[in-house]
Amino acid sequence: MNKILPSILVLALLAGLPLLSLPEYLLHLLITAFLLGLACTGWAMMGRFGQVSFGHGAFTGIGAYGMAMMWNLYGVSPWIGIPISVVLAAAAGALLGWPCFRLRVVGHYFALVTLAAGEIVRIFVTAAREITGGSLGMTPHLAPEAAFSAMQFSKSGFWWITLGAWAIGILVWHLQNRSMSAQALSAISEDEDAAASIGIRVAWEKLKVTVVSAALAALAGALMAQYRLYLNPETSAGLGISLQIVFGAIAGGMYGPLGPTIGALFTIGLEEVLRVFFGTGLIGAAPLIYGLLLVLFVLFMPRGLMGLFESRRHLGPGKSSSTKTPQRVGT
Partner 1 sequence: MNGSATLELSGIQAGYGDFQALFGVALRVEPGEAVGVVGPNGAGKTTLLRVISGLLRPKVGTLRYGDQDLTKVPAHLLPELGIAHVPENRRLFPHLTVEENLKVGAYAKSARAEFAKRRDRVYDLFPRMAQRRHQLAGTMSGGEQQMCAIGRALMCAPKLLLLDEPSAGLAPLVVQQVFDLVRRIRQEGLTVLIVEQNVAQVLRVVDRAYVLETGRVAAEGKSAELSADPVLRRSYLGMH
Q: How far is the CB of 323 from partner 1 (least distance, A)?
A: 8
Nearest to partner 1 of 130, 193 (CB atom): 193
Distance CA 96, CA 110 (A): 10
Q: Does 187 bind partner 1 (CB under 8 A)?
A: yes
Q: Output phi, psi for 150, to 5 deg.
A: -90, 0
Interacting span for partner 1 (CB under 8 A) from 104-112, 181-189, 242-250, 283-291: 181-189
The residues near 3 (Cβ < 8 Å, ≥ 6 apart) are: none
Interacting span for partner 1 (CB under 8 A) from 120-128, 176-184, 218-226, 271-279: 176-184
Report how many residues bind partner 1 under the rule CB under 8 A. Answer: 22
Binding-site member from 21, 197, 280, 311 for partner 1 (CB under 8 A): 197
Phi-psi region of 284 (alpha: psi -120 to 50; beta: other; left: phi over 0): left
Nearest to partner 1 of 21, 197 (CB atom): 197
Nearest to partner 1 of 148, 204 (CB atom): 204
Interacting span for partner 1 (CB under 8 A) from 81-89, 232-240, 258-266, 316-324: 316-324
- Which residues is 231 bridged to in the sheet? 138
Binding-site member from 94, 120, 324, 331 for partner 1 (CB under 8 A): 324
Distance CA 99, CA 103 (A): 6
Q: Does 193 bind partner 1 (CB under 8 A)?
A: yes
Q: Does 254 bind partner 1 (CB under 8 A)?
A: no
Q: Spell out the long-range contacts of 283-291 with Cβ–Cβ below 8 A and sequence spacing 24 or more.
A: 287/243, 290/243, 290/244, 290/247
Q: By three-state DSSP, how is residue 16 classified?
A: coil
Interacting span for partner 1 (CB under 8 A) from 8-16, 69-77, 162-170, 186-194: 186-194
Distance CA 208, CA 185 (A): 10
- Say how many CA atoms lie within 13 Å of 310 toward its Cβ: 24
Q: Of 45, 46, 87, which is closest to residue 222 (Cα–Cα)?
A: 87
Distance CA 325, CA 331 (A): 10
Binding-site member from 94, 201, 278, 289 for partner 1 (CB under 8 A): 201
Instruction: Compute and round to an integer the Cα radius of gyration of the chain.
Output: 19
Distance CA 58, CA 67 (A): 14
Binding-site member from 75, 269, 291, 317 for partner 1 (CB under 8 A): 317
Nearest to partner 1 of 92, 185 (CB atom): 185
Nearest to partner 1 of 189, 267 (CB atom): 189
Nearest to partner 1 of 125, 188 (CB atom): 188
Q: How far is the CB of 187 from partner 1 (least distance, A)?
A: 4
Binding-site member from 180, 280, 300, 314 for partner 1 (CB under 8 A): 180
Binding-site member from 10, 194, 288, 296 for partner 1 (CB under 8 A): 194
Binding-site member from 7, 77, 183, 331 for partner 1 (CB under 8 A): 183
Tell me if 35 sits within 8 A of 162, measured CB to CB.
Answer: yes
Q: Write the CA distances from 59 to 62, 149, 191, 314, integer angstroms.
A: 5, 24, 28, 33
Nearest to partner 1 of 269, 317 (CB atom): 317
Residues 218-237 that bind partner 1 (CB under 8 A): none
Q: What is the DSSP letter of 138?
A: B
Residues that bind partner 1 (CB under 8 A): 180, 183-184, 186-187, 190-191, 193-201, 204, 317-318, 320-321, 324
